[in-house]
Structure 1
């Protein structure tokens, strides 16, 4: 009989051991890759959420709406000019009035009498602190066709506690965005609030404008402002955001810092020359320094 030769038991055991080891290594590599992919995807989502929040805040600040009553300013300018002209003209006899001036005054009185409702001067203010900001913006999109709404809206941002929507639940510091269609003298109250971003550990603002030598942590255009900010909007706002999330027992932080210019502050000093001034040290992207 011819002898038949095959694998010995030792060779089979060695082969099975090698295949088993390779299977375990491949399975671990695949599992590690899945974990890494999940981790990278989570980090990208976190950064994307933060960028979306910053983009919305930027848009609101860019389109900050500073209303100025041009009619009132013209009336005050005409009254001042009339007073100056009256001082320069010779003294007229008592009871005498220039016919042209009398006609202008009569036309003005008739225009005022045409108003059915007494005029109330509208105001829009900008109130900003180091931890929050409130103002009026033109970033008010019309979501429903033919909806009766204004082009501007009162908006505010503040850092407060909120309950997380994740599976783990719990609470964290969140950025709340407040909007109100009713614009009044107090821009810090009213309207409804929604959570814009969770797990925020830092939310800071600083402001720059004409009359300020450096960035400041407070800006008020209402009666509580100083001589440089009262009745004026800042020219640029610095925003700093840091999001801190737990990752395998460790804190992972994502930070962003941007300088947001206000496109049209509409301050008296800016419009007197026909151009809006620019914050010191700020340079538009793509524009070479002069």
Structure 2
């Protein structure tokens, strides 16, 4: 009789074991992908926030540096007659001289949400540029349509190196921050006291407007300007971010030389 040959048993995986292994591998792959994706999302968020803060820092620094160099001048330097001093220019010759001369504005007209002023802040970057350090600057928020078609608030800057008769308009306009929520300017009025004394600190106050063409602020500038910039929230759960700075003006009295 022939003897039956017993084949040796070979170990292997069952179908269920293979399916469980594949499920575990798929889960690990998904977890790895989620982790890697989150790393890229975090990186993009950090880059966006860094660019946002960098843009705010540059805009605030530029406004502070230019406001610090603001000045005000009277008619003897090409500006308008200081309110309250019209009697000084009643002579016929002086009136004719004033009529021949174009009425210029050298000073500051500031509101709560916009600011226009003259300053020695122009930087000549072109060789043989025919311009002085004088410039007329304005900051304001304009509602415009962005690239996505949404209406946003843009912080823009106007500048004009020529001597024009209206500091509230004209000049070259460029965007400082493409989207802001608001900007607020406040002006420190020390009142009729000596600048730098204890009385200035005690009696001075912040005001929301400053106009050197009016009697209250004629012939002088605020000693300080406070800028408050509010940026819109980032993401659906974000909160508005508020940035503020103060700048001290170097020339607050009527320009005389």
C-alpha distance after superposition, 1:147-178 (max 9, x if no partner): 1111110001111112214xx23221111211
- Report how many aligned residue pairs link the two structures: 218
1:1-290 equivalence runs, <5 A: 1-67=7-73, 124-165=106-147, 168-211=148-191, 213-222=204-213, 224-226=214-216, 229-245=217-233, 247=235, 249-267=236-254
- The structural deviation recorded for 1:123 is 5.7
- The structural deviation recorded for 1:6 is 2.8
1:7 aligns to what SS in structure 2?
coil
Q: TM-score, normalised by structure 1?
A: 0.67
Q: CA RMSD in A?
A: 2.7
C-alpha distance after superposition, 1:28-74 (max 9, x if no partner): 11112212221222122222212221111111111113346889xxx
Residues 199, 245 of structure 1: 8 Å contact kept = no
In 1, the alpha carbon distance for the partners of 2:103 and 2:18 equals: 95
Unaligned runs of 5+ in 1: 72-117, 272-290
In 2, the alpha carbon distance for the partners of 1:197 and 1:122 equals: 30
Residues 72, 219 of structure 2: 8 Å contact kept = no
In 1, the alpha carbon distance for the partners of 2:55 and 2:105 equals: 34
- The structural deviation recorded for 1:208 is 0.8
- The structural deviation recorded for 1:183 is 2.8
- The structural deviation recorded for 1:209 is 3.2
Match of 2:92 in 1: none
In 2, the alpha carbon distance for the partners of 1:35 and 1:50 equals: 23
Residues 124, 183 of structure 1: 8 Å contact kept = no
C-alpha distance after superposition, 1:190-210 (max 9, x if no partner): 323222212222211110133
Q: TM-score, normalised by structure 2?
A: 0.75
In 1, the alpha carbon distance for the partners of 2:62 and 2:165 equals: 24
2:240 aligns to what SS in structure 1?
strand
1:215 aligns to what SS in structure 2?
strand
